[in-house]
Structure formats: structure tokens, C-alpha cells
A and B are shown apart, each in its own frame.
Chain A
Amino acid sequence: MIEVRNLSKSFGSTKAVDNMSFEVSPGTVTGFLGPNGAGKSTTMRVIMGLDHPDSGQALIFGKPYSKIANPLHQVGALLDARAFHGGRSAYNHLLFLAQANGIPARRVDEVLETVGLSSVAKKRAGTFSMGMGQRLGIAAALLGNPEILLFDEPINGLDPEGILWVRNLLKSLASEGRTVFVSSHLMSEMAQTADYVVVVGRGRLIDSAPISQFISKSAQRYVVVRSPAIDTLEGLLKQSGADVAQGPDNTLEVTNATCAQVGELAGANSIVLHELYFHEPTLESAYMELTQDDVEFHAKSSNDMTFPADKRN
């Protein structure tokens, strides 16, 4: 159980975390979502007692992190995939962490085995690829067999097999009743892994809800219909009272009507349909809608892009 209460943290004039409150419950994977610079990593560092908040608090089983003796037995975290000394072996990196918390050295071998790094355990960690570094960070998080696990973008740099492995790991940890809190930018991945989401933007909490409830807030639910006689169909649909918007590639996006209604209307008027389906909202679409105003660093959309040569026109 993690509780974040009215947490605020600034770096100079940047409000990285702004009066944020939420809870993360045991037995679930909770996704921590938000655009770049939304304050996810900062929040996690505060939970881990590494950054000091300006106000508010983060509690683990009701205690601030700094009050937990031998904390690795209760909390494990992967905060930064490259947070190890390049000259030290993976084994020794894990060993010094284990020793600090009275964890037996054989547990180091076990977690190395779990993450698949046993064969390179004695190699300098500086030679590791991004994905191997990520695995070492996950091994460190698992070291004390903790009830609470925090992962900051754990699948960055992993290959497809590694991503699948992390997904299953997170789920199995949660199914054992542990609290799993994981940040990610990959919505499709989170949609498959998370049970709950905590969504933030510009340091503020946007929503905290079960994932299905969060997705259902999206307005992106409509019938998509594609037809060679799209203009006729559009007129008929509007007459029947549906809201119609033109989609790409001879399609219409119809709200206020079911697939059956659209299909029957087309059939009654002998209009050929090439495609007819209900567009379900996704985590991604819900996320995009809700965080749109909170994205600090917008990239130019490709339509806006101009190349210097074009400016002559």
C-alpha cells in the first residue's frame, strides 16, 4: 500500500509535483501515466525517500520510507536503468545492496537467475546493453522479496521477449498480492498489464481509477462505416438524427447510432458497405483526450512541418 498525500515538489520555478494525492493498492498492477515531465519519476523518488518533498507526504504501509529499517525487504524499485557503477560487476552491485539489508548472498544468485543475468554476473556492468541494465535494475528491485514494487519505465530498451517477460512478471507479482506501481509511456503495453491507472499531467493528478472506468471516460466511441456512396449515406444518416463526422478514406464516424441501425439504413436504401464496425475507445485514446491540455512538450504534427525549401512558395 502506497499513499501519496497532497504532495508538492518544485525544482526552482518548475512545479514538478503539484498537490498530488493518490493510493496504490496491493494485489494490482497500477500504471502511472503522464506526458514527459509530468512528475512521475519525481513522485517515485519522493516515495523512495530520495527527494525531499516541499509539502505533503508519501507513505508506505503508513510510514515514510526513511523510517523503514532494512527497507529492501518491503520496497523494491527500479528507478533508473543505468544507476550502477560501470566498473562493478552485476553480482557485486546486488551483493552490496543485499548486505546493507542483511539479505543472504544466495538471494543475489537467485535474482540474477530470475532476470537471466547469471552468465554475465561477474562481468563489469558497464559493458551491459540497455536491456541488460534494465534487467539488473529489476533484479535489485526483487532482491528483498518486497511487498511493494516500483518500476519507472521498466520496458525501455527491452526486446519483445523482454517486454513479454516484464509484463508477466508484473502480473505475477500482483497476483501474489503485492503492490506494483509502474510508469510507462507505452499505452498499449499498459492496457495489457495494468488494472488501475494513475494519470498525471504537469505535476497534477488528472485521474486515478480502474483502467476500464478510465477508458470509458473517453468520447472516442462511434460507428465507423465505409462505403463508395458515402455522401448519400451521410445525408440519410443525418436525416435519421445521427451525428456524423467524415473520417479518412471514404469513412464516416457516426455517434448516436448502433452498427445495426447504420447497416439497416444502408440496406433499406441499397447502399453498398465496404466496412462497418464499432470503434471502442482505447487506453491510448482516453489518455490522449485527458492529457491533451497537459502535454508540455508538443511536437509539431507532421502536417505543420515545413522544410526551408517550401517557404519560397
Chain B
Amino acid sequence: MEATLATNRNQTNSTFHTSQPFTNTLQSELTKFRSVKSSFWSLIVANGVTIVLSAIICEAVVNRWNKRSLSERILFDPTTRSLTGIVLAQLAIGVLGVLLISAEYSSGTIRATFAATPNRTKVLTAKAVVFAVITYITCLISVLIAFGVGQAIFTQVGVGASIGQPGVLRVILMSALYLTIGGLFALGLGTLVRHTAGGITAFVVMMLVLPGIVGALPSPWSSDIGRYLPNAAGLAMTSVIKQHAGGDMLGPLGGLAVFCGWAALALVVGGTRLVTRDA
């Protein structure tokens, strides 16, 4: 054992770097991500829900098609309708986003992490990049599958969209982005709160409870405020027809900007706390 320590000493000392390359931090965070089961299962659930729940809802739409009025049929958006499962899938992605950081605190791994990489902003950035890329790629695949399945179901009633139609590809790309940005929002909240249960609660409150509370306000406040809430802004990115609920929603780019703003706010405030507080 002494021999092991001694022989390698000079070798490792000669590999001193003057800076710590970001690619090393990325690689390290990727290893962390893929080496726990919670990442795998959260992605399975999120992508499974995107495909299966969306298909179930498409079936329900087809079954009730005859009861729809003409104007409802004209306004029907087969693209967005075939991707409804993402709203629930967002919860699984959100849980994963919170866990990525909260599990480091609950297990104590965070101290090992920061001992290896004292630049905490670099750690959080690498975490966000790894998480965002993996989430976006996997979710894009499941969104594409859900779209294909949904359109196949809709052909029963003679409606349907194809990727070539205006806005459709955008909605598909944006739907995967909705899940990704929501995940980053959750990562930011988790960094701020540092506890798994607290982080998940904060995420659910921001995404699902707050819209209910704001919706109960007298109009026009309910819609004036409501459209800027994270989930409403995020979902605004994902509809082909803007005038969904009486023009309440932001446009797709506005929605993207506002939803990104929420995620950025959570990450910056969480990141500041990460840097200034004790690990």
C-alpha cells in the first residue's frame, strides 16, 4: 500500500492544472446523474406519462368528438391536444430537478462535491447543463412519439396535423423545452430550499397551486397576473392556436421568455444562496 502511494505521487503532482476545466465538471456531473436510479426512473415516468397519458386523452377526445360544436371543431388544435401528457410529466421532471441538488444535501455528498470543485457556480451550471441536455433529448423523443400516436388516433375522426404544417414543428420542439425549462426551474427551487420535500412542495405550489389562487381573483386581475405564472407561460409556448382560452395566454415567444425568466430567477437566487451559505 505504501508503494502504491509513493509511486503515484510524482505522477499526479505533475498533472496539476492552473484552472479547473468546465468539461471536467460536466463529466463529473454526468457521472453523478447517471449513477443513481432516481434519474433513470424520473425520466422513465416523465416520458412514459408524456406518451401514454397523451394517447389516453386523444382517445377521449375522439370518443366525444360528435358532441363538439362546430366552432369547437374549427378551433381544435390536434398538435397541442396530442401532447397533453406533458403537463403531468412536468411533475416527474420537477421532482428530478429538485432531487439533483437536494439529494446532495440530504446525503452529505455536497461537501465532497464542493471539496473537489470549490467554484460552486460552476457546479450548479454543470448540473443544469447536464440535466437540461438529457431532459431535452429524451423528452423530444417522447413528444415526437406522442405526436405520432395522437395524430394516428385523430385520423378516426378525420382531423390531424403533420409536422410540415405551420407551427407544428415549433410546438413539438417547444413542448420538450417546456419540460426542460420546468426542470431547471425545479433545480433552482431545490437549490434555494435544499430539502427534497420542501423543494417539491415549492415546485408544485408554483406550478399548480398558485394558478388556482390567482384564478380566484376578480377579473381582469386573474388573467392579467395568471398568464405570467410559470406554468401558464410555459404552456403558452406549446399551442399552435394562440387564442386558446379567450386570448388569455401570452404568445409562444412571450411565454418562452417569461418561463425562462422564472427558471433563471430561481437558479440565480438559489445559486447566490449556494455560494454565500455554508455547505
Contacts and interface: CB of A to CB of B under 8 A. Distances in A.
Nearest to A175: B2
A114 interface: yes
A124 to B, nearest CB: 9
Interface string A60-71: 000001111111
Contacts of A292: none
Interface string B12-36: 1101111111001101110110011
Nearest to A11: B278
Chain B at the A interface: SS class? helix
Contacts of B31: 92, 95-96, 99
Given A73-B16, A86-B107, A107-B12, A142 B5 contact: yes
Interface string B105-148: 00111011111111100000000000000000000000000000
Contacts of A69: 16-20
Interface string A79-113: 11011111111001101110111110001001001
A114 to B, nearest CB: 5
A143 to B, nearest CB: 9
A83 B109 contact: yes
B118 A66 contact: yes
B278 A51 contact: yes
Nearest to B2: A172
B37 interface: yes
Nearest to A75: B115
A2 to B, nearest CB: 15
A68 B16 CA distance: 10
B201 to A, nearest CB: 22
A140 interface: yes
Size category of the A interface is: 35 or more
Contacts of B111: 45, 48, 50, 79-80, 83
Interface residues of B, number: 46
Contacts, number: 136
B6 interface: yes
A145 B17 contact: no
B64 interface: no
B118 A68 contact: yes
Nearest to A85: B107
B279 interface: yes
Contacts of A97: 28, 112, 116
A104 B199 CA distance: 35
A279 interface: no
A45 B11 CA distance: 28
B120 to A, nearest CB: 9
Interface string A129-172: 00000000000101011000000000000000000000001001
Contact of A176 (B6, B35, B109): B6
Contact of B32 (A86, A96, A173): A96
Interface string A203-247: 000000000000000000000000000000000000000000000
B74 interface: no
21 contacts: A45-B279, A49-B115, A50-B111, A50-B278, A52-B276, A83-B111, A84-B112, A85-B109, A87-B37, A89-B35, A93-B35, A96-B32, A97-B28, A99-B31, A100-B24, A100-B28, A100-B116, A102-B24, A140-B112, A145-B8, A173-B5
Interface of A: 45, 48-52, 65-73, 75, 77, 79-80, 82-89, 92-93, 95-97, 99-103, 107, 110, 113-114, 140, 142, 144-145, 169, 172-173, 176
Given A100-B27, A101-B20, 20 more contacts: A48-B111, A50-B115, A79-B115, A83-B112, A84-B112, A85-B103, A87-B37, A88-B32, A93-B112, A95-B31, A96-B113, A97-B28, A100-B113, A101-B117, A102-B17, A103-B15, A110-B4, A145-B5, A172-B1, A176-B5
